[in-house]
Amino acid sequence: MAYDVVGTRPVRPDGTEKVTGRAVYGADVQLPGLLHGKVLRSPHAHARIKSIDLAPALAIPGVYAAVTAADMPKVQAEGVANLGESSIEKQYMQNMILAGEKALFHGHAIAAVAAVSPHVAEEAVKAIRVEYEVLTPVIDVLEAMKEDAPLLHEGLITKSLGKPTGKVSNVAAHMQHARGDVEAAFAASDVVVEREFRTAMVHQGYIEPQTATAQVGLDGAVTIWTSTQGAFGVRAQVAEILDLPLGKIKVVPCEIGGGFGGKIQVYMEPLAVLLSRKANRPVKLTMSRAEVFQATGPTSGSVIRAKVGATRDGVITALQAQLYYEAGAFPGSPVGAGTGVIFAPYKAENVLIDGYDVVVNRPRTSAYRAPGGTNAAFASEQVVDEVARQLGMDPIEFRLKNAVRPGDQATYGPKFGAIGLVEMLQAVKESEHYNSPLTGPNRGRGVASGFWFNGGGPSSSHISFNHDGTVNLAEGSTDIGGSRASMAMIVAEELGLPYDQVKPYVADTDSVGYTDVTGGSRTTYATGLACYNAAQEAKRQLCERAARTWECSPEEVEFMPGKGVVSKSDAGKHLTVAQVAREMNRTGGPIHAVGTVNARGQAPGFAVHIADVEIDPETGKTTILRYTAFQDVGRAIHPSYVEGQIQGGSAQGIGWALNEEYVYGSDGTLRNANLLDYRIPTALDLPMIETVLIEVPNPNHPYGVKGVGEVCIVPPAGAVANAICQATGQRFTELPMNPERVCMALLKAGSR
């Protein structure tokens, strides 16, 4: 179906302000009497806090307040708090913000101060005296699981399959997906491949550090300006942590300089509120880049064992995996998602997948674009590739033979609905890239598939009409990748208006209905549905107002995009949207439409990537020669932003594959907390990433939308690993596959 607005590529509404530097980001907020906060952080990865003396800091002129965990209210320990793409038990929430009895990772916040300037605050932080009892840290996931490993939490009882085991350990939880008989299936298989893989902890790498400004009024009302992926999530977390009523908290989302899942969990916001309340002044806290690395949520490092069996004619008979994920200092790694992602593109009658959530002395992990998925696919896609090559089958043909189709049962449980994996694999098989020659020594081509669940959930939007017929659109989703444009396009399409006559904006928590986080690949699907619903209500009201003008029943008129309101009995009789809006006060007052939804029926995302690489045998450096990302996008509302999401996720996945990792010393201290030593890819490291959009519409959305922002990071590590294997003849099972690791493997292979 052809559309007038949907599927076009208009300029984003926030573009001019951003490129001219006028957009207000979190650190740009300035209030009268503003104080600046700084945080004292633990130099130890694991230490008991014996005493904290704030007096020397408070004695410094210009210091207005200082807080520790003792300033936190006592909150109910029971229950779980939802963080959008993850969750955390309430008993751990406060301890994440300020350490209680123990510091549990290098960089754990111990105290915070507010002063007249950042420099005075820094001096105050240095003056605080803390007495520690240093304890032995545990930073490796398998070491943490041993019976004699140092315990991070003496009260952490392992849950297995959702039930407490009574055992105290660093293993927070064990989960499982099982069906059939894998042992018998492996025994009957003609080919079985089993390998162990390791992935390093990595950071999302957003440009803008976390920042928050809080002001507590004399009536106790709290206003927070912050860089966040979900204003309502911030409101809920601050309410839980500080035991405040939701109605007393207003959160104003500023423009956001990237998040990728890392700006859902709060860090600075509760501290800013505590300090503001004590100082009776507004307080701003902004992290340094080192603090971002040390004390926000990266994604998990992992150990994964993957095993695949198949018949000689290329049918997968059994799939088995064990996934061990680092949760960081508090439970809640994305291992559950990893267990769902790892074999999701493949159908099999016999499946056994076990996942383990393990605490270690590192910062608690947060979501990172398909959290847990990249780790899982790095393992599974290499094993699948190896099975195909042992059978002498083309890797795409093997994936096509075993690809899930609509109606197939996923390895993690439910049956698939509208998915386009087969169409996408067929497109890859027939593509110019896949069929082009790759000549020359030390070159290889790899492919990998990827999966992500995609989300729905609650969203809200408001449409109000101006007298000139233009529309103001308020919605509650933080705009990270151009979602304001997509929302405006949906409304413009429905109302038959030019795109530039719809003015979208992201509202604060007092000005729009509850809206879940911008995450989980839910925004265009769920908030887009809310905007669509608001547009339907707006059309109903426009028809009602036209009927009043014509002194007829609303049933006698209908809305037609491009024409406005038309008489059913006289096709030549119509009123444009602008004409109806101009008379709205005379016909009943302002026209204001609300759209809400608790979206269900979202369709999962699939992607297939092709990577061509060249290896320098002397240095081990991997050069990406060409990269193409195929993705089932349902229908692209704004194709440029869909392509941008896919290119961005691919670039991050390539960085994860080749260079990125947290480097910890044996004492648990982070050694590379800066963007010089933690190396993310630049434009010099990447080719132009080609994108191919496969549109298999989701029947549960009026425009067929599927989430697109996360599945694109799942295949890159596996695709690059398979390409390096073809180029070198060596299978690499540890991320990152950096020059040192590649070079050492080549030297070792050459010495045999």
The catalytic residue positions are 710
Give the residue from 506, 561, 569 showing the smallest Cα distance to 228.
506
Q: Please say whether the beta carbons of 524 and 459 come within 8 A.
A: no
Instruction: Compute and round to an integer the Cα radius of gyration of the chain.
Output: 27
- Contacts of residue 511, Cβ cutoff 8 Å, sequence gap at least 6: 474
What's the CA gap between 417 and 622, in Å, rounded?
39
570-595 CB burial, b ≥16 within 10 A, e <16: eeeebbbbbbbbbebeeeeeebebbb
Take residue 202 and report the two structure tokens written for it: 């990595």
What's the CA gap between 359 and 84, in Å, rounded?
20
Take residue 554 and report the two structure tokens written for it: 């609303």
What's the CA gap between 410 and 383, in Å, rounded?
19
Residue 561 backbone class (left: φ over 0; alpha: ψ -120 to 50; beta: rest): beta
Q: Please say whether the beta carbons of 192 and 308 come within 8 A.
A: yes
Sheet strands (E) in 83-199: 87-89, 102-103, 109-115, 129-134, 157-160, 163-168, 171-179, 191-199
- Count of Cβ atoms closer than 10 Å to residue 190 Cβ: 15
3-state secondary structure of 170: coil
What's the CA gap between 178 and 343, in Å, rounded?
12
Amino acid, res. 265: Q
Amino acid, res. 706: K
Sheet strands (E) in 477-551: 502-506
Q: Is 3 exposed, middle or buried (0-12, 13-18, 19+ CB in 10 A)?
A: middle
Take residue 219 and report the two structure tokens written for it: 């009536």
- Contacts of residue 432, Cβ cutoff 8 Å, sequence gap at least 6: none
Torsion over CA: 711, 714, 716, 722 (sign): negative
What's the CA gap between 394 and 311, in Å, rounded?
15
**Residue found under tokens 């670039």:** 651
What's the CA gap between 620 and 740, in Å, rounded?
6
Run of H or E residues at 748: helix 739-750
